[in-house]
Amino acid sequence: MDNNNMAGILYDFLMVKFYFCSNIGSPNMKKKPTYILGIESSCDDTAAAVLKDNIVLSNCIANQEVHRAYGGVVPELASRAHQANIVPVVQRALSIANIDKKELTAIAYTRGPGLLGSLLVGSAFAKSLALSFDIPLIEVNHMQAHLLCHFIKNEEKQPPSFPFLGVTISGGHTQLVLVEDFFKMTQIGTTLDDAIGEAFDKCGKTMGLRYPAGPEIDKLAKQGNSEAFEFPIPKVKNYDLSYSGVKTAFLNLINNNVAKNPNFVANNLNDLCASIQKTLVQIIIQKITKAKEDFNLDQVVIGGGVAANSEIRRVLNEKAASAQWEVFLPPFQYTTDNAAMIGVVGYYKHMQNQLGAMDQSVNARLTF
């Protein structure tokens, strides 16, 4: 290669570099916005959202009432309801966002964890749409999304900074997570049996409350005395937790007392709710406190349906009043399953060019 050729290559290289740097760095150059469609179908909510970068333009959910009669989610019924709901929910999300489907930059969908049949409906739909529009497909871990919902643009609060202690509390999961970066998460503790939301729901079922009982227990507890009944706090090593013992203790209390007085539950409903709620919250708060101290972390970031619970919010807000605790509780619309959290993960993955593949299958037991 002669000197002229070398100089030419060097010149081209520098020009290309200058072009990219100037596009990224120049304050005058406006970055083209990304429009991400998020699709969530991991359990019993069919949800779709449209985001412009990390700003939510629409966030639509079709709840499945069909499960109420059974006291829990029936997987086969959930898949069928997703099939019926997914087209209207996506159409509604696009219409509220006021964008045409051809403007979408990418489609993000929940790959797992969740119910296999439910996940398959969302993923098949997302794949077909991405294929037909010829745009990227992005797979999202549902549990990561519960924590990363805090990165949705919020005028009132800045997002957390890494590293932080992530805590996912939902109907299917109870996890303590060391979050070092968007996609660098390590589970440090989890429930050995029931999830906290599951414990709320099962205790509620024992009292004859409708599924999901968590919100109803929360409501009734407000009128009750949380000291009326006492339940054991399990002793579990490190950052793991257990909820099955307290659930059994609750069931035994109800059965023993109903045998003597058939009106026991009705007569004590508010106190039972307040007492069990206090115990369920105490169990996780103990572990959050231990993990936060041991890992020397200031920020505690909560995600999942149980983050809506007023007792856990009260206790954590009380902690946040001290200088060593900064607590991030999601706005209510991002506590239970939603597609805005899937969309925001899609946005950050798209930025990092972490794109999914058409042959990637769903994973009901997907981990971090």
Stretch 170-209: interaction string toward ligand KG4, x if CB under 6 A:
xxx------------------------x--xx--------
Residues of 251-274 as b/e, b for ≥16 C-beta within 10 angstroms? eebbeebeeeeeebbeebbbbbbb
Residue 327 engages ligand KG4 in binding (rule: CB under 6 A) = no
In this structure, the strands spanning 45-52 and 174-181 are unpaired
Q: Among 222, 229, 211, which Cα is nearest to 305's?
A: 211
Residue 110 engages Zn ion in binding (rule: CB under 5 A) = no
CA atoms of 182 and 179, how far apart (whole Å): 7
Residue 54 engages Zn ion in binding (rule: CB under 5 A) = no
Q: What's the longest Cα–Cα distance across the chain? A: 100
Residue 118 engages Zn ion in binding (rule: CB under 5 A) = no
Residue 241 is classified by DSSP as B
Q: Which is nearer to ligand KG4, 34 or 310 (CB)?
A: 310
Residue 335 engages Zn ion in binding (rule: CB under 5 A) = no
Output the smallest distance, CB 78 to Zn ion, in A: 13
Q: Which is nearer to ligand KG4, 203 or 253 (CB)?
A: 203
For 301, the token pair is 């970031």
CA atoms of 36 and 112, how far apart (whole Å): 19
Q: Which is nearer to ligand KG4, 212 or 346 (CB)?
A: 212
Output the smallest distance, CB 228 to Zn ion, in A: 31
Residue 325 is classified by DSSP as -
Residue 170 engages Zn ion in binding (rule: CB under 5 A) = yes
Stretch in the footprint of ligand KG4 (CB under 6 A) among 83-91, 150-158, 211-219, 325-333: 211-219
Q: Which is nearer to Zn ion, 196 or 253 (CB)?
A: 196
Output the smallest distance, CB 258 to Zn ion, in A: 33
For 270, the token pair is 């508010």
Say which entry of Zn ion, ligand KG4, none residue 215 contacts (CB below 5 to 8 A, set by partner kind): ligand KG4
Binding to ligand KG4, residues 43-72 (CB under 6 A): 43
Residue 337 engages Zn ion in binding (rule: CB under 5 A) = yes
Say which entry of ligand KG4, Zn ion, none residue 113 contacts (CB below 5 to 8 A, set by partner kind): none
Residue 85 engages Zn ion in binding (rule: CB under 5 A) = no
Q: Which is nearer to ligand KG4, 38 or 215 (CB)?
A: 215
For 24, the token pair is 């990224």
CA atoms of 261 and 206, how far apart (whole Å): 15
Whether the Cβ atoms of residue 140 and residue 349 lie closer than 8 Å to each other: yes
Q: Among 135, 37, 105, 139, which Cα is nearest to 356's?
A: 139
Residue 73 engages ligand KG4 in binding (rule: CB under 6 A) = no
Separation in Å, CA 56 to CA 96, 261, 342 = 11, 52, 11
CA atoms of 182 and 341, how far apart (whole Å): 13
Q: Binding residues for Zn ion, per CB under 5 A?
A: 170, 337
Report the interface residues with ligand KG4, using CB under 6 A. Answer: 43, 170-172, 197, 200-201, 212-215, 218, 304-306, 308-309, 336-337
